[in-house]
Chain A
Amino acid sequence: MDIFLQQIINGLVQGSIYALVALGYTMVYGIMGLINFAHGEVVMIGTLVTITVAGTMIKAGMPVVLAGFAGLSASVLVCMALGWGLERIAYRPLRNAPRLTPLITAIGMSIVLQNLAMMIWGRNYMTFPPLLPKMDFEVAGANFTAVQLIIVLVSSLTMGGLLLLVYRTKLGMAMRATSQNPAVASLMGVNINRVIAAAFVIGSALGALAGVMVGTYYEIAHYQMGFMLGLKAFTAAVLGGIGNLAGAMLGGVLLGIIEALGAGYIGDLTGGFLGSHYQDIFAFIVLIIVLMFKPSGLFGEKTGDRA
């Protein structure tokens, strides 16, 4: 039973990170129907910027709290600028292009960002500076650390804030209107360009936050880390019903828990034939099964033909 609880906690932590990244995918997709393949790289750059800023400050003897905040703000700012730039330079000129064109652009940008990061930070694994105190808690036989607790808390708060933004502010209303029908929204006086840019900037800021969390959790970072993370997060977004904010959050958490439980129990279930290194296939198997029965995701509304 305690293994079960332990895996639930691990899954919840991993899932909150997926959820934050998934929000970046789902916001952009909901508004303009684009899979922003480069989003995972934005998250990666967020992590690496934090390493540079916070790491340098800690080495210079500054207090860890200050370094942590500086690192986080720097990475959020850099990623927001990156998200804005991506939209402005790469995607905006393609708004009326055939559907697959922006997808190839996104893949191209992803390759560009990955290799830029490799040029700047090198191809070796980097250690993430310890920003949070190491503390362990024990509840009902399961352990969790302060880092895990803070990740879950901060991501819940952030997601709550995002929901408020989207459902209680004017910008949020403009975003929802644009995602329903850009042409009509623009007739109602919504500045489409600003709304789309906002979606990219907000999504990237969430991605930066997720990047910092990944760094603190795994204490290691690499220029290729964004790829699998982005893939899983996108899977989570589709699982929840892409374009749907609450869906992305729940999909992310669900995916994290399924992965953790799957990795914990697959050995027993298959009599030792498959081991925990099959962890990565759960995300995709669950996705395929869910989409077979609910083609628009768990919480997605029935959408029209986008093909």
Chain B
Amino acid sequence: MSDTAAKAPRWAIWLPLALFAGFFVLVMFGLLRPASHDVQSAMIGKPLPPFNLAPASADRPGLARTDFAGKPRLMNVFASWCVPCAAETPVLAELAKRGVEIDGIAIRDRPQDLALFLARNGNPYARIGADNVREVQLAIGSSGVPESFVIDGKGTIRYQHIGEIRPDQIDMILGKLAEAAK
């Protein structure tokens, strides 16, 4: 028995240790890398699906797929019940001031809540569509609020921003819009 075992190749004795080391590196890599819970949309580079949302507020039209023609637009998925969305409004106002056309998709919002939200935080939106069962949100691969999408003049999704746009990200967003205009 012992001499048959000795016939196994010499290097084989290191195999278990090498395997263990491999697993150890894998586990440490997984532990040390910060976990991201963001779910990226797989729709980047693809055209927006057809949709037609009713107006969510009294003084803005609704939002349809056909509105995305001409120059690139920022499509902001938001809700009055979402705290980071309220924090994002000054940044959206700044973007609107710099000539960005922003459309809103209001997720599961009651008209009176949305009116209050817009009265309190300002209204940077050209159009606001009411997505009451998240049909458009699911169709574009968005998984939360707020999220912003850069849509080019042909209606293609060019960029997805997950979470609120922070003041230091204004230039980055403007860059993405300029890129989409090319």
Answer yes or no: do A and B interact.
no
Residues of A bordering B, CB below 8 Å: none
